[in-house]
Amino acid sequence: MTRRVSDLLELVELEEKVGGWWHRFITRHSEERHPDAGVRLEQVQHLLGIWFRALGGDSALEIAGADATSMNVRRNLLQRMAGTHRRFQLAWRDDNALRLPPVIDIFPDTDLNLNRNLYLWLAALAAMEEPGDSDPWFRHNQRLTLAALERYPGLWNRYQELVRAHLQQRPHPQKLPVDERQQELAIREALIEPGSLETLPAASRPPAPVPLWLHPNPPAPTVMPAVEPPADPEANRSRSRELEEVPRKQTEQADQPESDRGLITVRMENIFSWGEHVHVDRGTDDEEDETRAEEVARDLDKISVTRQGKAAKTRLKFDLDLPSESEDDLVLDDGLLLPEWHWKQRRLIPDHCRVVELIAADAEPIPLPERLKKTATRLRSQFQALAPARTWYKARPDGTEVDLDAYLRYRTDRASGCNVPADNLYREMRAGARDLACLLLADLSLSTDTWISDHARVLDVIQDSLYLFAESLAATGDQFGIYGFSSRKRDPIRMHLIKHFDERYSGRVRGRIATLKPGYYTRLGAGIRYATEVLKVQGAGRRLLLILTDGKPNDLDQYEGRYGIEDTRHAVQAARNLGFHPFCVTIDPKGNDYLPHLFGSTGYVVIHDPTELPAELPLLYARLTAHQ
85 pLDDT band, cuts 50/70/90, is low
Q: 240 pLDDT exceeds 50?
A: no
Q: 223-258 as b/e, with b when 16 or more CB fall inside 10 Å?
A: eeeeeebbeeeebeebeeeeeeeebbebbeeeeeee
What integer pLDDT is reported at residue 235 of this predicted model? 40
What integer pLDDT is reported at residue 567 of this predicted model? 96
What one-character DSSP code corresponds to residue 324? P
Residue 527 and residue 545 in one domain: yes
Count of domains forming the chain:
4
Q: 19 pLDDT exceeds 70?
A: no
Residue 379 and residue 420 in one domain: no
Would you tell me the crossing angle of helices 178-192 and 137-151 to the nearest 10 degrees? 20
Q: Determine the distance from the C-alpha atom of residue 198 to the mean position of all C-alpha atoms in its chain, rounded to a whole number.
A: 39
Lowest mean pLDDT among 210-214, 386-390, 578-582: 386-390
Residue 415 and residue 445 in one domain: no
What integer pLDDT is reported at residue 305 of this predicted model? 58
Alpha-carbon Rg for the chain in angstroms = 32
Please answer whether residues 593 and 49 qualify as being in contact, where contact means their C-beta atoms are separated by less than 8 angstroms.
Answer: yes
Percent of the chain with pLDDT over 90: 43
Residue 252 is assigned to a structural domain of this protein? yes
Compute CA distances 174 → 121, 182, 569, 589, 592, whole Å: 29, 10, 54, 51, 49
Instruction: Give mean pLDDT, residues 188-196.
Output: 93
Identify the three-state secondary structure at position 349. strand
What one-character DSSP code corresponds to residue 262? -
What integer pLDDT is reported at residue 463 of this predicted model? 95
Instruction: Give mean pLDDT, residues 395-406.
Output: 81
**How buried is 626 (Cβ within 10 angstroms: 0-12 exposed, 13-18 middle, 19+ buried)?**
exposed
Q: 230 pLDDT exceeds 50?
A: no
**How would DSSP label each residue in 518-571?**
--SBB-HHHHHHHHHHHHHT---SEEEEEEEESS--B-SSTTTTHHHHHHHHHH
Distance in angstroms (rounded) separating the CA atoms of residues 331 and 335? 9
Residue 204 is assigned to a structural domain of this protein? no
Distance in angstroms (rounded) separating the CA atoms of residues 484 and 219? 38
The residue type of 370 is E
Instruction: Give mean pLDDT, residues 392-402.
Output: 76
Residue 183 and residue 75 in one domain: yes
Strand partners, 581: 544
Q: What is the largest CA-CA distance in the chain?
A: 134
Q: 390 pLDDT exceeds 80?
A: no
Q: 228 pLDDT exceeds 50?
A: no
Residue 570 and residue 589 in one domain: yes
Q: Which residue has the higher pLDDT, 188 or 400?
A: 188
Residue 362 and residue 410 in one domain: no
Of 106-115, 253-262, 270-279, 382-391, which has the strongest mean pLDDT? 106-115
Distance in angstroms (rounded) separating the CA atoms of residues 529 and 546? 13
Average pLDDT score, the chain: 80
Per-residue pLDDT reduced to its tens digit, 599-619: 998 999 999 999 999 999 999
Residue 213 is assigned to a structural domain of this protein? no
Cis amide bond preceding 102, omega within 30: no
Residue 44 is assigned to a structural domain of this protein? yes
Q: 399 pLDDT exceeds 70?
A: yes
What integer pLDDT is reported at residue 227 of this predicted model? 46
What integer pLDDT is reported at residue 462 of this predicted model? 95
Compute CA distances 27 → 85, 106, 152, 474, whole Å: 10, 15, 40, 67
What integer pLDDT is reported at residue 363 of this predicted model? 87
Q: Is 243 left (phi over 0), alpha (psi -120 to 50) or beta?
A: beta
Please answer whether residues 30 and 89 qualify as being in contact, where contact means their C-beta atoms are separated by less than 8 angstroms.
Answer: no
What integer pLDDT is reported at residue 257 of this predicted model? 53
Compute CA distances 54 → 49, 50, 462, 532, whole Å: 8, 6, 35, 31
3-state secondary structure 404-461: HHHHHHHHHHHHCCCCCCCCCCEEEEECCCCCEEEEEEEECCHHHHCECCCCCEHHHH
Residue 422 and residue 362 in one domain: no
Distance in angstroms (rounded) separating the CA atoms of residues 558 and 353? 13
Q: 425 pLDDT exceeds 90?
A: no
Residue 350 is assigned to a structural domain of this protein? yes
Identify the three-state secondary structure at position 35. helix
Q: 288 pLDDT exceeds 60?
A: no
- CATH number, residue 495: 3.40.50.410
What integer pLDDT is reported at residue 269 of this predicted model? 45
| 292 sits in which H/E element | helix 290-299
327 pLDDT band, cuts 50/70/90, is low
Q: 148 pLDDT exceeds 90?
A: yes
- Provide CB contacts within 8 A for 180, sequence distance 6+: 74, 203, 204, 205, 207
Residue 242 and residue 372 in one domain: no
Backbone angles phi, psi at 216, to 5 degrees: -70, -30
Please answer whether residues 30 and 79 qualify as being in contact, where contact means their C-beta atoms are separated by less than 8 angstroms.
Answer: yes
Q: Which residue has the higher pLDDT, 79 or 425?
A: 425
What integer pLDDT is reported at residue 163 of this predicted model? 94
Residue 498 is assigned to a structural domain of this protein? yes
Instruction: Give mean pLDDT, residues 577-586.
Output: 95
Instruction: Give mean pLDDT, residues 313-329.
Output: 49
What integer pLDDT is reported at residue 401 of this predicted model? 84
Per-residue pLDDT reduced to its tens digit, 100-131: 999 998 888 766 789 999 999 999 999 998 87
**How would DSSP label each residue in 299-314?**
H-SEEEE---SSPPSE
Say if strands 103-104 and 239-240 run parallel, antiparallel, or are unpaired: unpaired
| 468 sits in which H/E element | helix 458-476
Distance in angstroms (rounded) separating the CA atoms of residues 108 and 37? 6
Q: 146 pLDDT exceeds 80?
A: yes
What integer pLDDT is reported at residue 276 of this predicted model? 46
Q: 80 pLDDT exceeds 70?
A: no
Residue 334 and residue 424 in one domain: no
475 pLDDT band, cuts 50/70/90, is confident
- The boundaries of the domain holding residue 164 are 31-192
| 495 sits in which H/E element | strand 493-499
**How buried is 276 (Cβ within 10 angstroms: 0-12 exposed, 13-18 middle, 19+ buried)?**
exposed
Residue 1 is assigned to a structural domain of this protein? no
What integer pLDDT is reported at residue 408 of this predicted model? 86
- Domain stops at, among 286, 315, 344: 315
Taken as a whole, the chain contains a residue count of 628
Q: 375 pLDDT exceeds 50?
A: yes
Tell if the pTM clears 0.75, that is, is over it.
no
Q: 272 pLDDT exceeds 50?
A: no
Lowest mean pLDDT among 228-242, 347-361, 506-520: 228-242
Compute CA distances 145 → 90, 91, 156, 159, whole Å: 16, 14, 10, 9
What integer pLDDT is reported at residue 224 of this predicted model? 47
Residue 561 and residue 474 in one domain: yes
Distance in angstroms (rounded) separating the CA atoms of residues 44 and 116? 8
Would you tell me the crossing angle of helices 507-514 and 458-476 to the nearest 10 degrees? 160
Of 105-109, 428-432, 451-455, 572-576, which has the strongest mean pLDDT? 572-576
What integer pLDDT is reported at residue 237 of this predicted model? 40
Lowest mean pLDDT among 167-181, 216-230, 255-269, 389-403: 255-269
Q: Where are the beta strands (DSSP E) in 271-414?
A: 302-305, 314-315, 330-331, 336-342, 347-359, 391-396, 401-402
233 pLDDT band, cuts 50/70/90, is very low
CA neighbor of 361 nearest in space, from 326, 411, 309, 337:
326
Residue 425 and residue 535 in one domain: no
Residue 155 is assigned to a structural domain of this protein? yes
Residue 398 and residue 478 in one domain: no
What integer pLDDT is reported at residue 457 of this predicted model? 93
309 pLDDT band, cuts 50/70/90, is very low
